[in-house]
Structure 1
Amino acid sequence: MNDVEREALTNFLIDIEILDGIYEYISEFNVFEILGVVNTEIKHSNTLALLFNPNENHNLGDLFIKKFIQSIFSIYKGHLKHMHKNIFDILHLDYYDFVIKREYMNIDIFVISEKAQFVIVIENKVWGKASENQFEKYFKLITEEYSDYDKLFILLTPYSDTEVESSNWISLDYNLIYEIIEKILRLKERNLDVKVRLFIEQYLAILRRYILMKDIELERICREIYYKHQKALDLIFEYKPDIYYDISNYLQNLINSKDNLIKDSCNKNFVRLITKELDDLMDKKEKTGQTAKEYFYSSFN
């Protein structure tokens, strides 16, 4: 390390004031991060199913499912002409009659009201892709099983511009989910149990930071740190831990410790070696001009 690099790293490490801003984020306990919910569709679906259920003990009542359905009818009213229900009917539904099911017919979230004869199918794709003909398969299954019901088929993704391969489905992004939850939190904050409020706030933080990528304050702090300490951070990135380098280094040390092995050319992508027995048996020069130990080797990628 030269003097310039040492000075850059030192200045970065002692800049406590600018680092304090990001420490608040990385030291913050978040149960969703601990449980690995961030990029796991199943766990996002479990969380949403909990919020959808008006009879759960979160004390949100029917607010989430009501605002979700009403938002869809408001946003997509031009695409829902096949529905028997209009916005007036939707406003007067008994949302406590809705039952929420997970993995019913392999569907991520299945919502049904027998009284209202209304079914909602939600396929949740956080980062994954639908399998071939998955949308048409679910549409056919539900249409046959609930032929007299009003039906909504929804693809939920992080992206607002996601196209659905089937015209029977509508595409929603997590922005709507975030906005609904945030609005409910403002409305019910004073009446919510502390644990429930913390649960909701932490889920919003996960959506904001990892799914919607719109944690503006965190982005601002990171940019400020990088612009101020670019040289130090570039140096850190250059020498960041590399699993391939670590494995290669381990294998090279292992070969060096064995008397019957000879190490040949190596880098982080491969390790070449030959046994001493083979080296002694082979002529040192082959017709190709290669040495025996260059010709006989094992490669670890």
Structure 2
Amino acid sequence: MQQSNIINFIVNNDKLELIKAKLNRFNPFKILRIEDYEIRHSNVLAWLLDPNGNHNFDEKILKKFLLKVLMKADNDEVLSNVNFVYKMQNMNLMDICVYRELYNIDLVMVSELQGLVIFIENKILSEEHSNQLSRYHSVIQDNFPDYTIIPIFLTLDGKETSSENYFRASYSDLLETMEFVVENYKERTSQEIVAFVSYYISIIKEKYFMDEDLKRLCKDIYIQNKDVIDMIYSIGNEIDIEAAVEQFILKHEEIIPVTQKNTIFWFGLDSFLKARETEVDSWGGGFPICLWFSEYYRKLKLTLEVGPFEDADERIAFLNQLELSGIKISERAKEPGRKYTRIYTDTIAIKDWGDSEEIYEKMETLYNKKDFISIKNKAIEAVDRTEW
């Protein structure tokens, strides 16, 4: 590498200057260092989720966030009655009172009109303490015995909880909600409020997620100067599992590819073909039961899931066949309105997402695990027994 290449990269590089400008742009939350303190995040959330807050978004942020969390596939086992989601869609939550640190819980929201209590334990940096979530749930039950209770465990990546009573939520869910509401209802409020919420969105993205504009700039720099700088390699070499997927398909003749993007690969099995109804761009490419590999918080994830059926009775009949094959299916999964039932998921760490060989090997590891093979074979048995 010539010294002139390094000098040209450092001196008068417009794109590099843009990155520096982005990282150093004014944000009042940076000055207050809110990103480093959970209590300050919880204070902002208490304001945003309060229907009577002076942001003038009424209940829109709260309700959209709740519906997003309740409908997540990860929370399928927690939602006891899917009809409650439809009820909440039309529920008036304007009487909600928001409490900070009530019973030592980060956020407690109470609607006497609806007989509803929502409480959120926010763990953006720290871990949950021993039996903490169970204690909080018991305290709320004791103090609101006749209320519907929605407990939410909010973390950066929506991690699992020690208590099966909690809905999992991530800051991505929160970001998507805030961005949607600000973009579509900004005329309801002042420019100052829009700026405040936008600053908060930016600080979360910058601190814990990758800003898309910054990502594009880094990638441009990598492409143009890849022989000069290696430390932006992980940005320039964005996750793309295509090469690994090609190897995987060649190895497994039973694989029926459905769809593929940079970080996800959906596929069916030839053993599932008898159940396939259509090849249009529907869920699972027409397979009522489908598999996919995906990037999940820097890990590789394998999922097997039953999707929507046109006939709800046929879906329940298939779930019953899965049970007969020895796959555990919750009774909640058979309730009217249920569309998705996850029957298997597993993850494995990836050290280098730029190494297609490592990704392929980890795909093989997940696909050849004994517990997955057992579940897959039981699913095939259920497909064979079902009249399609």
Same structural fold, with TM-score higher than 0.5 when normalized by the shorter chain: yes
Name the aligned partner's letter for residue 66 of structure 1: K
2:266 maps to: none
Contact kept, 8 Å, 2:29 with 2:203, in 1: the verdict is: yes
CA, structure 1 residues 194+24, in 2 after alignment: closer, same or farther (shift >3 Å)? same
Which residue matches 2:212? 216
Q: Is 1:32 equivalent to 2:21 in the alignment? A: no
Distance 1:219 1:147, change over 3 A: same
In structure 1, distance between residues paired with 2:227 and 2:117: 53
Partner SS for 2:206: helix
Instruction: Give the superposition deviation at 1:114.
Output: 1.3
One of 179, 184, 189 as aligned partner of 1:187: 184
1:148 counterpart residue number: 146
TM superposition shift of 1:88: 3.6
Equivalent position to 1:129, from 108, 127, 130: 127
Residue 80 and residue 31 in structure 1: after superposition, are their counterparts in 2 closer, same or farther (change >3 A)?
same
The answer (yes or no) to whether the contact 1:12–1:229 under 8 Å persists in 2 is no
**AA partner of residue 99 (structure 1):** C
Q: Distance in 2 between matches of 1:137 and 1:82?
A: 24
Contact 1:158–1:173 (CA under 8 A) maintained in structure 2: yes
Instruction: Choose 1 or 2 for highest CA Rg.
Output: 1
Give the Å deviation of 1:45. Answer: 0.7
Give the 3 Å change call, closer, same or farther, for CA 92–158 of structure 1 in structure 2.
Answer: same
Structure 1: distance between partners of 2:160 and 2:48 = 26
Corresponding residue of 1:265: none
Task: Show the counterpart of 2:112.
Answer: 114
Q: Distance in 2 between matches of 1:186 and 1:149?
A: 34
Corresponding residue of 2:341: none
* Partner AA of 1:198 in structure 2: A
Q: Which residue of 2 is the match for residue 16 of structure 1? A: 13
Scaled by the length of structure 2, what TM-score is found? 0.54
Q: Closer, same or farther in 2 for the Cα pair 1:200/1:127, shift >3 Å?
A: same
Paired residue type of 2:22: Y
Distance 1:135 1:82 in 2: 22
**2:79 matches 1:80:** yes
Letter of the 1:14 counterpart: V
Structure 1 stretches of 5 or more lacking a match?
235-301
Alignment of 1:151-300 (within 5 A): 151-160=149-158, 162-211=159-208, 213-225=209-221, 228=225
RMSD, aligned α-carbons: 2.5
Contact 1:70–1:87, Cα closer than 8 Å, also in 2: yes
Bigger fraction of residues in strand: 2
Do 1:107 and 1:138's aligned partners in 2 also have CA atoms closer than 8 Å? yes
Q: Which sections of structure 2, spanning at least 5 residues, go unmatched? A: 232-388
Q: Amino acid of the residue matched to residue 214 of structure 1?
A: M
| Alpha-carbon distance, 1:99 to partner | 0.5
Cα pair 2:78 2:165 within 8 Å, conserved:
no
TM-score (normalised: structure 1): 0.68
Any conservation in 1 of the 2:78–2:164 contact (CA below 8 Å)? no
Q: Is the 8 A contact 1:101 1:109 kept in 2?
A: yes
